[in-house]
Structure 1
């Protein structure tokens, strides 16, 4: 049975009850906040394993809360799942750019809610021996156990999703990963993929990697790969 602590930030009573009921039913410890101010007070003064954060909040909205939590060293590593209105792609992109780890569009089913929560928390588990191995590709070094990436010896600050994306591609240089394969590997199944949501993660990752970002190549109409001139190119 799960025992992780989850902070729900939601001002709609019916949605809050739905989230709280299903999380508690699955063994999670739940605490709630109905405003951005309450969310920040709780998150900065208590320890949580995950924040389930609605974007549309009174006064301080969810995007601002996400920005503050992701830029605070105390809470930067806490995963955040954003809740957005259906079809609001701009909100999804903004949340991902601020460091959110995943998103759910309203309305949603309890099954989708639990799949997303479990997938995000599963990424915090201890990696397998293969997943723990340091990956060296040109100027880039990826250290999974320390969740650290360096480029030419300099640390690069990546979000959890950006780290997972880079690790996925770099472990199999030359292989082409479709956007759907990337989402399945990082977020799990039952995730509503959009080209834009994947692309914005890649753009942000390339920017943070600097000149080494060119090692992540776009395969037009298909997806992305980590550059490897000596390997055959396969499509997953």
Structure 2
């Protein structure tokens, strides 16, 4: 059985490793992407079940990527966890994200949020 795909879009290498390992604990295959333009290119070909998106990325900012995800009909079912260190930005984008994670964060927080979102997705799909 193929594992669902999760994209980790995060420019901080250490954070991306923690995020990937935590999400893998929920049965996902993960891909780590470090720049906004690479993320947009990958999202043109992939349909991930989950995206963990940092808002402060090089080349293309995370808010633009979030808008692209929400505008693409192929990605309608994609769940998005936005990670930001700025609580004001979190308030602004919370309607477009499935969950907002305020940095700094822990491995267990990411693991639990991914589990929560995938449980919601499975319940919604069964309804």
Cα distance per residue 1:150-209 (max 9 Å; x no partner): xxxxxxxxxxxxxxxxxxxxxxxxxxxxxxxxxxxxxxxxxxxxxxxxxxxxxxxxxxxx
Cα distance per residue 1:66-111 (max 9 Å; x no partner): 01110111213211000010xx2221122223x1100111111111
Cα root mean square deviation, aligned: 1.9
Please name the residue that 2:94 is paired with.
96
Where does the alignment leave 5 or more consecutive residues of structure 1 unmatched? 133-144, 146-236
Alignment of 1:50-199 (within 5 A): 50-85=50-85, 88-97=86-95, 99-127=96-124, 145=127
> 3-state SS of the aligned residue for 2:74?
coil
| Alignment partners' CA distance in 2, 1:22 and 1:118 | 10
- Return the offset for 1:26: 4.2
Larger RCO, structures 1/2 (Cα 8 Å, 6+ apart): 2
TM-score by length of 2: 0.88
Q: Contact 2:47/2:74 (CA < 8 Å) preserved in 1?
A: no
Please name the residue that 1:5 is paired with.
5
Please name the residue that 2:16 is paired with.
16
What number of residue pairs does the alignment pair up?
Answer: 125
> 3-state SS of the aligned residue for 1:59?
coil
TM-score by length of 1: 0.49
Where does the alignment leave 5 or more consecutive residues of structure 2 unmatched? none
Inter-CA distance 112–68: structure 2 relative to 1 (3 Å threshold): same
Structure with greater Cα Rg: 1
| Alignment partners' CA distance in 2, 1:120 and 1:51 | 11
